[in-house]
Amino acid sequence: MMITSALRAFSHRRFFLFIVGHGVSLCGSWMQSMAHAWLVYRLTGSPFLLGFVEFLARSPILLFGVIGGAIADRWPRRRLLLVTHTLLALQALLLGVLTLSGRITIEWILGLAVFMGLVSVIEMPARQAFLTDLVPRSDIPSAIGLNSSMFNAARVIGPSAAGLVVATAGEGVCFVVNAVSYLVIIGCVLAIRMPTRRRSEPMGTTRLLKEGLAYAWSTPHVRSILRLATLLSLAALPFTTLLPVFAVDILDGGPGTFGILMGGTGVGALTAALYLARRASAEGLDGTIGRSVICFACGLLALAASPTMWLSVGALFLVGFGMVSSLAAANTLLQSLAPDAMRGRVVSLYVTVSLGMTIFGSLLAGTGATYMGAPLTVALGGCVTLFAAATYYASLPAIRRHIEEHRLFAPEELRAS
């Protein structure tokens, strides 16, 4: 019964097509992510530049993420995905060609990171909202859980494969593989036919933005989740920026060690995603979010104190489980309760704070690791994460009152009555 409940979104052909293509693309993306970080550290040996590259890649999301959400609500999402995935494939291909030819420089890396960030401003909210367009509202928890499962299965497969490829053939091959993987998802999206929807009178972008911000500010669960995601983005999520430092300077390893560390995070994340996918509804996720953030914090503190690789892998399992169970549960709750016409903007606000704010977190992590060391920097992040959990728990009573008063877990026709 649990497996059937978790997999029910697969009964929708369009969702199945999309998730298969997206899964292949994600493996390529994780290969590029690992190889990209390793290339930066190999070329520069600078923890600060590791953070700075992340800063440039995420800053467009922070600056323009809400606009990307408005675009995802205004224009056909399928068409947006075809355009953005093509551009991301070209970015990966250029990065691969430059690296394999020996002409890659830190300046090229920085410029291509900015380009990827600009494309992601539209791609991320369009993809997240398109995913839930493919299933009925009752199957949104299953769809998001399965998408998260695929994301985190790729988090295990991609870095592990990248560690082997980087050690034997170099980073450039990983970038070319990622470019090829985008062709798979482009083909799957082309095979999906969406029904023609009658659109309401189009609104200007400014009005769309104001409406989305007003909804977020006036809705307790949206406001609390965005505040929580902001704190996690600043203090907790940038731990990934420092994993090359842990692999080389703390554990005396190489690209294989880095791949194992990322794989440990991925196994924990995949476990959390499968756990969430089995849920029959979004009801009860408000409490899951708080417990998961505490798990995230404990994993970070354990990683900071770990002197060996296998203890670090165990700590990263907790980190991955807590990170994904909190962020995916928050995403599921937001999308399950958001009006259909508002979903792109709600997703963009969430992406803006959960990914865009990491630009400051990555800079803080890189600077902190330079002057205090990576372990102490991660430990401080764990302490701030515990504080974030406390602030979220303080807001739970208001969230639950709002959900009950507006019958947000009731069927759509009952809400409107």
C-alpha–C-alpha distance, residues 316 and 250, integer Å: 15
360 to 36, 317, 381: CA distances (angstroms): 19, 25, 13
Residue 244, CA atoms < 13 Å, CB-side half-sphere: 24
160 to 39, 92, 164: CA distances (angstroms): 16, 19, 7
Q: What is the reported pLDDT for 417?
A: 43
Q: What is the reported pLDDT for 411?
A: 55
Q: What is the reported pLDDT for 3?
A: 45
Q: Of all residues in the chain, what percent are helix, strand and coil, respectively (each to 5)?
A: 85, 0, 15
Interacting residues of 72 by C-beta distance below 8 A, sequence separation 6+: 80, 122, 125, 126, 129, 344, 345, 347, 348
| pLDDT tens digits along 48-71 | 887 788 788 878 887 887 888 888
294 to 271, 380, 393: CA distances (angstroms): 17, 14, 11
- Tokens at residue 311, please? 């203890």
Q: What is the reported pLDDT for 265?
A: 86
| Angular region, 45: left φ>0, alpha ψ -120 to 50, beta rest | left
User: pLDDT below 50 — which residues of the chain?
Assistant: 1-3, 200, 413-417
Q: What is the reported pLDDT for 317?
A: 95
Q: What is the reported pLDDT for 416?
A: 44
Residue with tokens 């082309």, as numbered in its chain: 190
Q: What is the reported pLDDT for 280?
A: 67
C-alpha–C-alpha distance, residues 71 and 209, integer Å: 10
| pLDDT tens digits along 300-339 | 999 999 989 999 999 999 999 999 889 888 888 887 787 7
337 to 41, 227, 257: CA distances (angstroms): 42, 18, 41
Neighbouring CB atoms inside 10 A of 193's CB total: 9
CB 229 within 8 A of CB 374: no
